[in-house]
Amino acid sequence: MNTYLTPGFQDSKIEERKVRKTKINPDKDLLLARAILENEEELLKKNLDGQQKYSAGEKYNKIRNKPNSSTPGTNVGKTPESSTDKRILGKKNMHISINEQIVSKKSSNKSFVYRMNSSFSKESPVKKQRATKEANLPSINNKTSDASQPDGLVRKKAGKPSKAENDSRITKSRDGRKRQRDKSALNNSKTQYNIELQKLKQAGDLRWTPKLCVDIPMSIERIKFSQSAYENDNKWNYRIMGKEDYQRREQIKKLESTSQTQVVYDSLDKSPFYTDSNPYIDDKKLLEAKKNSGFVNPNINPRGYRRQKGITGIPNKDKIYTSLNPYYILENEEDTTLVFESRFESGNLKRAVKIEDYEYDLILRNDYNSQGYTQWFYFRVTNTRSDKKYLFNIYHFYKPESIYNEGMRPLIYSKKKEAKEGVGWMRIGEDICYYQNTTKRKSGSGFLYSLSFSFDLPFNDDEVYFCHHYPYTYRDCKEFLDNLCTDSRREERVSQKDRIRKTEICKSLAGNSLDLAIITNFLSSEQDISQRDAVIITGRVHPGESNSSFIVEGILEYLVSDEVEAIQLREKYVFKIIPMLNPDGVILGNYRCSLSGQDLNRQWIAATSRVFPEIYNMKLMFKKTLESRRIFMYVDVHGHSRKNNCFMYGCSNKASDKKNYEKIFPMRFSELHPTFSFEDCSFNVQKDRETTGRVFVRREYNILNSFTLESSFLGASKGIYQDTHFTPEQLKDVGRAFCKTLNDIENPKIKASMLKKLSS
């Protein structure tokens, strides 16, 4: 870029701007153009000699024979038009000064010479003179001064730009286009983010955003499943493969080459199918979140493994996104690879490996900050084919026995089937087998276990969810309680606040709420309420036991209903119910542990507020309740993975005056509900159960009716529901039967009848 600066240059610029502002006149513009050209030649000559220049306006006035304030008395006659003049007049922008063209920052030697040459004919001598003089123009590109020049500037000959100048111009152009593309992509991304955010707000998914306190991404997307079950396909599975067959297949697969296997999903590692321009994790979709304030065990590793000594802390902010890109990108329409996803609330699948076209090895993730307790799985697949038989081999189960070998089948949920046929969760699977594999445990001796099953899918290109049991998330619980406490029947002048009130007992380790629902007849006098006994119920201390949440939901719905027994119960008791005692584990997709990496139902003796705030505050609630009223019963609701039916664990009573009193409630329960089995109940206290809630409450607070209510993941082996899987509605019915049983046992006749049966 060649420009020059001289004294008086700014005056010339001002004059030229004044000329350009005048109305366009062909004769006037012709004279101005010629004056500019002649002035430029004189200006160059005088400037090189260090003489004072005069403006184009002065030259114009001389040509027009008009006096000028700077050159009084000067008259110059009109010059007739020539062919060159016509060509000059034909250019629309020739009223712009040559000085302005020379100092333009967007001009180069080459472009300037081309622009000047295009204004004249090839035969014009001015063209040659102009090109020659242009080569001698001063340059400020080179900062080294030349003492031989009067203005101290270096003269640079005109010619082709250097390679460096070309590269610089090309680079700037490419950078500019890239910045434009990035800006456009950013705007599109922001628009998409706002659209997704608005949809989430309308759906109410942002009302109870969970907190993680672990360094993993999670999608805030929430699927509201239909609770309807496919009754025609709810029978137990009787086609069970022998363990030896699958173990033999696994040994052969281990000996064969695994070069053709492909990792098609990993919930923790970065996807290799993306580039920097197309990021796998798009931080533009990150939800704004407050900094975490929860405390985490010093040994916690945010990816779910034990930290090294001396490393502590938690992430500043949770990585919760409006949506997440899939790990695997399909190559084309003919690619039949399943696309896996588990980075949503309660999801659990660490890795998926494609063995063959329709066979996959699935590896489950351990409970966060633990080295085991793997039993819960919950994930999604897309890009399905309806005419193919798939085979899933799920690894890293830690229990040696499972009711999968007794007829239990996995659950799936097809979005297309639900939309077209109204069918929700249904049981699928053939050739099911739960067996020991060749993978050794990381801690202790022994091996891990696998679950293998084959299946067909109903539709092409469907979105299908797989789960160990019906999912029940933290936000499902929050939404249910919120709706239950809302005055939804105002037309009947019935206020829910007269029956149920909700409060928060504490915050979990990650900062999630532990909600406490208090149910009684609040219209009674304060004295009457103070004389009522308390019944405390907790659920979901083990996050993978989602069946317990449906039982607690049935209890809550019945207690606030208009049933006669429900009204009587509200008059007799004050119910304190915590539906979800371990929200952190539920959110993260753990099976047994909380965020601390420990089983909360083994921490009742030495729970601390810093590491186990859930159990610590539960113990405080027991103490404060006992200060004002007697606690009649405590029930902790669980799910069981190795036994059928519903049953209870209690604590034996050695007092002679109350012999068998602890068995009255379970026996009456078995009479009122067909799936409850008194024969499966146990009242012995094993040594490794002394730190559980049931045993601690019995011994610490002397509460005779302290139970664990268990429900099978499979179903009932007797009664009208024999050999069928439990459904959510059946589990809720168990909760309703629990309330009816509680209302009966205080009846003297029923109590006497139960004691008579127990003593016989």
Q: Each residue of 29-40: pLDDT tens digit? A: 555 556 655 655
| One-letter amino acid of 732 | K
Between 109-113, 459-463, 670-674, 679-683, the lowest mean confidence (pLDDT) is in: 109-113
Specify the pLDDT at position 299: 46
Specify the pLDDT at position 118: 42
Encoding tokens for residue 144? 């080294």
164 has a pLDDT exceeding 70: no
* Residue of 585 and 164 predicted with greater confidence: 585
Encoding tokens for residue 401? 């026995």
pLDDT digits (tens, 9 = 90+) for 319-345: 899 889 999 999 999 999 999 999 999
Quick one: pLDDT band at residue 597, thresholds 50, 70, 90?
very high
Contacts of 412 (CB under 8 A, 6+ apart): 425, 426, 427, 428, 455, 457, 464, 465, 466, 467
Pairing mode of beta strands 389-397, 359-363: parallel
Specify the pLDDT at position 125: 55
Encoding tokens for residue 137? 């123009």
Q: What is d(CA 709, CA 691) in angstroms, rounded to the nearest whole number? A: 17
Dihedral (CA of 564, 569, 575, 577) sign: negative
Q: What is d(CA 48, CA 32) in angstroms, rounded to the nearest whole number? A: 24
**Residues 138-148: what's their mean pLDDT?**
44
Quick one: pLDDT band at residue 653, thresholds 50, 70, 90?
confident
Q: What is d(CA 42, CA 65) in angstroms, rounded to the nearest whole number? A: 19
* Residue of 656 and 193 predicted with greater confidence: 656
What ranges do the domains of the chain cover? 9-144, 226-269+339-467, 474-759
| One-letter amino acid of 603 | Q
310 has a pLDDT exceeding 50: no
Between 74-83, 452-461, 498-507, the lowest mean confidence (pLDDT) is in: 74-83
Specify the pLDDT at position 226: 74
Q: What is d(CA 721, CA 645) in angstroms, rounded to the nearest whole number? A: 10
Architecture of domain 474-759: 3-Layer(aba) Sandwich (3.40)
Between 153-162, 386-395, 497-506, the lowest mean confidence (pLDDT) is in: 153-162
Strand-by-strand arrangement of the 359-363 sheet: 262-266, 351-356, 359-363, 389-397, 447-456, 430-440
pLDDT digits (tens, 9 = 90+) for 428-445: 988 899 999 888 887 767
Q: What is d(CA 41, CA 458) in angstroms, rounded to the nearest whole number? A: 86
Cβ(625)–Cβ(409) below 8 Å: no
426 has a pLDDT exceeding 50: yes
Q: What is d(CA 737, CA 721) in angstroms, rounded to the nearest whole number? A: 15
Q: What is d(CA 35, CA 292) in angstroms, rounded to the nearest whole number? A: 75
292 has a pLDDT exceeding 60: no
Specify the pLDDT at position 246: 72
Q: What is d(CA 707, CA 676) in angstroms, rounded to the nearest whole number? A: 14
- Phi and psi (nearest 5°) for 225? -80, 150
Q: What is d(CA 212, CA 292) in angstroms, rounded to the nearest whole number? A: 9
The helix or strand, by DSSP H or E, that contains position 295, with its residue range, turns out to be: none
Q: What is d(CA 571, CA 409) in angstroms, rounded to the nearest whole number? A: 43
Q: What is d(CA 467, CA 470) in angstroms, rounded to the nearest whole number? A: 7
Q: What is d(CA 404, CA 427) in angstroms, rounded to the nearest whole number? A: 12
Cβ(642)–Cβ(550) below 8 Å: no
* Residue of 222 and 389 predicted with greater confidence: 389
Encoding tokens for residue 455? 């299946």
Provide the 3-class DSSP secondary structure of residue 710. Answer: strand
pLDDT digits (tens, 9 = 90+) for 173-223: 666 666 666 666 555 655 665 666 666 665 556 778 899 888 889 998 888
Between 86-95, 311-320, 688-697, the lowest mean confidence (pLDDT) is in: 86-95
Quick one: pLDDT band at residue 97, thresholds 50, 70, 90?
very low
Specify the pLDDT at position 80: 46
Q: Please list the residues that pair with 427 across neighbouring strands.
A: 411
Q: What is d(CA 63, CA 71) in angstroms, rounded to the nearest whole number? A: 12
Between 135-139, 513-517, 560-564, the lowest mean confidence (pLDDT) is in: 135-139
Specify the pLDDT at position 564: 95
Q: How many CB atoms lie within 10 A of CB 517?
A: 22
The reply to whether CATH 3.10.20.310 applies to domain 226-269+339-467 is: no
* Residue of 543 and 82 predicted with greater confidence: 543
Q: How many CB atoms lie within 10 A of CB 343?
A: 23
Pairing mode of beta strands 319-321, 217-219: parallel
Q: Just list the catalytic residues.
A: 710
Pairing mode of beta strands 631-640, 705-712: parallel
Q: Where are the beta strands (DSSP E) in 691-751?
A: 705-712, 715-716, 724-725
Q: What is d(CA 288, CA 478) in angstroms, rounded to the nearest whole number? A: 21
pLDDT digits (tens, 9 = 90+) for 211-265: 988 888 999 888 888 766 555 456 766 556 667 777 777 766 666 655 578 999 9
**Residues 565-585: what's their mean pLDDT?**
97
Between 158-162, 419-423, 550-554, the lowest mean confidence (pLDDT) is in: 158-162
